């Protein structure tokens, strides 16, 4: 049994040489076509290194382009090289430079001897069986294709649409029944010689030259035209598989056990970087590694092993992204993120700082700062880098905010992760936090005056930034009052939006996963406005203690972590001092607002802790 391998290659000449030498070492022949588009130096390397190997012939080269007749022409040129060499093989095995043997050569020979006279080519009637998963099938030969789909897409689409509009369908050449199937075949030399003769006929050549992807049509149809059905085995002896995205599966070193279990003689495509895999498969080809025997009826029939795996893991490993396949919704990688985490959402960095200081002290919580601060990414514990991002990678973070958060959450394996989101930060991220069912949301119902101070100064403070009293004092009271009137309307719109988000979140999250924290002020300690000044809270520790007691129960229910201890640890002097600083800022801005002409009644409404600006707006 003499086998000639017709090989189509266009890259990696050293790997092509290795494959050629493996094939001829077992007493067979190779006719090699190397793409004319490939660098001349690569072709010369093969000519030089394979010079003197009698079992190798080089076919006349053509420029091969996907979907065009040139692929068939390259295959026919290999067959002409076999004819000119006078080899007279029993069979010709078509393969590519990316293929590799996965079973012993002796087994291939024995199989073909037992099945001598049969033609192994996948071919199904195109008019009645759907073989192409997506895209045109019958249209491939009903219309004429003069432009390359990949290189001349616009002309291709326009000419195709024009033919359909003008109803320029054509009949199949010589009234043959069209068959379609895989490009890779193993055919007898007698049949191939008849096909070569037919390929010279002007009408055959003219017709197939203008079909789309003729390598999946030409040999498949002519074999059925020339050979009785009983001799055609509609299976390929080369294993090929596709991913969900229509791309060929590429095999790597960890596929070796899988490949040698398959009832095929070749596999495509083998990664060009896998020397270990090729070494292991060489042992199979030369019968130095035992492989499982198969009945002839099973050869060329793919089992369910890969398909079962593909369906089970088509969305990737649970909770992880699939490269090159973003989810359909705007959530992006958040769609696959099932790990619970939390977001603290507030209207000022100063108030978020209070919550952050308390939560950061809990050993089971990793509370990042403002991950979407415009200046830098505030990672927990002052990390300069986290989850593959540097603190300065603001632009990289902006490529996909949803994916960035997912990466940060996944990077923490033990503790509950969380982040701070100030009003105006993260674009659509706050909405995402309310929308995702695995995100616990802590909404800080802050003080409009505290938020106004940061808005007035035009800054977004980092968590550890010191407050610049001088900057506030430098703004004229009239400017402070003017900006305050505009701010209240913006603040009202924002609080309205928050209310809607809280309502929607309640429908999609477990009970208690959205909670609201308010800065409680004891009624007995109401401030008194007199003359042109304002009096702040005289004892900051008292409202701080009230806040911590109320917050501990709400945070424990929302986060699923008992935070009472960390709140008490931070609710002593440190957090009381923070509250005192906030009250001092409020006192300063109230003084400026009174001086700018804002009425005392308006400020009293805000001083009483009302988070709803409508009352103040109605009184202005």
Q: How far apart are CA 137 and CA 159, in angstroms?
A: 17
**Cα→Cα distances 600→527, 585, 610, Å:** 12, 17, 15
* Nearest Cα to Cα of residue 606 among 457, 436, 456, 492: 492
Q: How far apart are CA 9 and CA 32, in angstroms?
A: 7
Q: What is the pLDDT of residue 596?
A: 87
3-state secondary structure of 285: helix
- Beta strands 439-445 and 341-346 are parallel
Q: How far apart are CA 195 and CA 212, in angstroms?
A: 19
Q: Around Cβ 135, how many Cβ atoms within 10 Å?
A: 11
Q: Dihedral sign, CA of 469, 472, 474, 476?
A: negative
Q: How far apart are CA 609 and CA 447, in angstroms?
A: 7
Topology of the domain covering 3-238: Spore Coat Polysaccharide Biosynthesis Protein SpsA; Chain A (3.90.550)
3-state secondary structure of 326: coil
Q: What is the pLDDT of residue 532?
A: 42
Q: What is the pLDDT of residue 318?
A: 65
3-state secondary structure of 574: helix
Q: How far apart are CA 597 and CA 485, in angstroms?
A: 11
Q: What is the largest CA-CA distance in the chain?
A: 114
Is 96 within 8 Å of 268 (Cβ atoms)?
yes
At how many degrees (to 10) do helices 13-24 and 40-49 cross?
30
3-state secondary structure of 496: helix
Task: List where CATH 3.40.50 sits in the chain.
Answer: 337-619
Q: How far apart are CA 276 and CA 257, in angstroms?
A: 12
Q: What is the pLDDT of residue 545?
A: 55
DSSP category for residue 463: T
Q: What is the mean pLDDT of each run of 10 residues along the chain (620 residues)?
A: 97 97 97 97 97 97 96 98 98 97 97 97 95 89 95 94 95 97 97 97 97 97 97 96 82 94 95 95 95 94 84 68 60 84 93 86 93 95 92 92 93 94 92 94 86 86 83 88 88 90 90 84 42 39 58 87 68 65 82 84 61 52
**Cα→Cα distances 68→32, 126, 218, 394, Å:** 19, 19, 11, 46
3-state secondary structure of 211: coil
Structure tokens at 456: 């007035």
Q: How far apart are CA 37 and CA 58, in angstroms?
A: 16
Q: What is the pLDDT of residue 374?
A: 93
Q: Which neighbouring-strand residues pair with 94? A: 6
Q: What is the pLDDT of residue 455?
A: 87
Q: In the block, which residue shows the tokens 């401030």?
A: 527
Structure tokens at 119: 């033609």
Q: Which neighbouring-strand residues pair with 124? A: 180
Q: In what order do the strands lie in the sheet with 232-233?
A: 56-58, 29-34, 3-9, 91-96, 186-188, 119-120, 232-233
Beta strand spans in 103-234 (E): 119-120, 124-125, 179-180, 186-188, 232-233
Q: How far apart are CA 592 and CA 476, in angstroms?
A: 8
Is 238 within 8 Å of 263 (Cβ atoms)?
no
Give per-residue pLDDT as tens, 181-205.
999 999 999 999 999 999 999 999 9
* Core vs surface per residue 411-432: b (16+ CB within 10 A) or e: ebeeebbbbbbbbebbeebbbb
Length of the chain: 620
Q: Where are the alpha helices (DSSP H) in 400-476?
A: 401-410, 429-435, 448-457, 469-473
Q: How far apart are CA 105 and CA 112, in angstroms?
A: 11
Q: What is the pLDDT of residue 533?
A: 41
Q: Is the peptide bond before 112 cis (omega within 30 degrees of 0)?
A: no
Task: List where CATH 3.90.550 sits in the chain.
Answer: 3-238
Q: What is the pLDDT of residue 525?
A: 40
Q: What is the pLDDT of residue 537?
A: 35
Topology of the domain covering 337-619: Rossmann fold (3.40.50)
């Amino acid at each position: 049994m003499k086998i000639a391998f017709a090989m189509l290659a266009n890259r990696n000449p050293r790997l092509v040489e290795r494959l050629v030498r493996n094939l001829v070492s077992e007493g067979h022949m190779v006719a090699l076509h190397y793409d004319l588009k490939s660098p001349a130096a690569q072709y010369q390397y093969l000519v030089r290194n394979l010079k003197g190997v009698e079992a190798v012939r080089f076919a006349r080269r053509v420029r091969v382009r996907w979907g065009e007749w040139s692929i068939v022409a390259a295959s026919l040129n290999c067959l002409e090289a076999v004819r000119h060499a006078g080899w007279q093989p029993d069979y010709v095995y078509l393969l590519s430079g990316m293929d590799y043997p996965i079973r012993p050569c002796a087994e291939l020979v024995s199989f073909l001897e037992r099945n001598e006279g049969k033609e192994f080519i996948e071919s199904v009637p195109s008019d009645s069986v759907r073989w192409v998963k997506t895209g045109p099938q019958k249209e491939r030969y009903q219309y004429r294709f003069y432009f390359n789909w990949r290189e001349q897409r616009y002309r291709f689409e326009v000419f195709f649409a024009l033919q359909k509009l003008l109803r320029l369908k054509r009949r199949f050449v010589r009234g043959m029944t069209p068959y379609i199937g895989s490009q890779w075949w193993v055919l007898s030399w007698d049949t191939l010689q008849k096909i070569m003769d037919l390929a010279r006929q002007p009408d055959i050549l003219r017709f197939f030259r203008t079909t789309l992807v003729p390598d999946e049509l030409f040999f498949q149809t002519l074999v059925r035209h020339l050979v009785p059905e009983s001799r055609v085995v509609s299976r390929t002896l080369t294993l090929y598989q596709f991913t969900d995205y229509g791309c060929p599966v590429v095999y790597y070193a960890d596929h070796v056990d899988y490949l040698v279990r398959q009832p095929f003689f070749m596999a495509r495509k083998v990664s060009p970087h896998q020397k270990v895999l090729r070494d292991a498969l060489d042992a199979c080809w030369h019968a130095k590694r035992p492989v499982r025997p198969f009945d002839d009826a099973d050869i060329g029939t793919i089992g369910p092993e890969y398909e079962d795996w593909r369906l089970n893991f088509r969305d990737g490993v649970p909770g992880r992204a699939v490269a090159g396949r973003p989810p359909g919704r705007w959530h992006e990688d958040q769609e696959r993120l099932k790990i619970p985490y939390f977001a603290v959402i507030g209207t000022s960095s100063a108030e978020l700082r209070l919550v952050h200081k308390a939560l950061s002290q809990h050993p089971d919580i990793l509370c990042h700062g403002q991950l979407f601060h415009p200046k830098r990414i505030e990672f927990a514990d002052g990390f300069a880098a986290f989850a593959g991002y540097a603190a300065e990678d603001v632009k990289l973070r902006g490529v996909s905010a949803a994916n960035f958060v997912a990466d940060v959450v996944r990077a923490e394996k033990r503790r509950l992760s969380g982040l701070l989101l100030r009003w105006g930060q993260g674009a659509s991220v706050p909405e995402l936090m309310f929308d995702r069912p695995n995100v616990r949301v802590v909404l800080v119902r802050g003080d409009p005056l505290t938020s106004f101070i940061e808005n007035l100064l035009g800054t977004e403070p980092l968590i550890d930034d010191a407050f610049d009293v001088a900057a506030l004092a430098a703004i004229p009271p009239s400017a402070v009052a003017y900006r305050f009137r505009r701010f209240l309307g913006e603040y009202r719109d924002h609080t309205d939006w928050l209310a809607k988000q809280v309502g929607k979140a309640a429908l999609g999250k477990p009970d208690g996963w959205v909670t609201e924290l308010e800065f409680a002020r004891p009624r007995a300690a109401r401030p008194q406005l007199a003359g042109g000044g304002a009096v702040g809270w005289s004892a900051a520790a008292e409202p701080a203690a009230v806040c911590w007691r109320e917050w501990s129960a709400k945070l424990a229910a929302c986060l699923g972590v008992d935070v009472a201890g960390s709140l008490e640890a931070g609710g002593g002097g440190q957090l009381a001092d923070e509250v005192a600083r906030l009250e001092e800022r409020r006192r300063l801005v109230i003084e400026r607002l009174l001086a700018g002409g804002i009425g005392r009644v308006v400020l009293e409404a805000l001083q009483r802790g009302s988070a709803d600006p409508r009352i103040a707006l109605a009184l202005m």
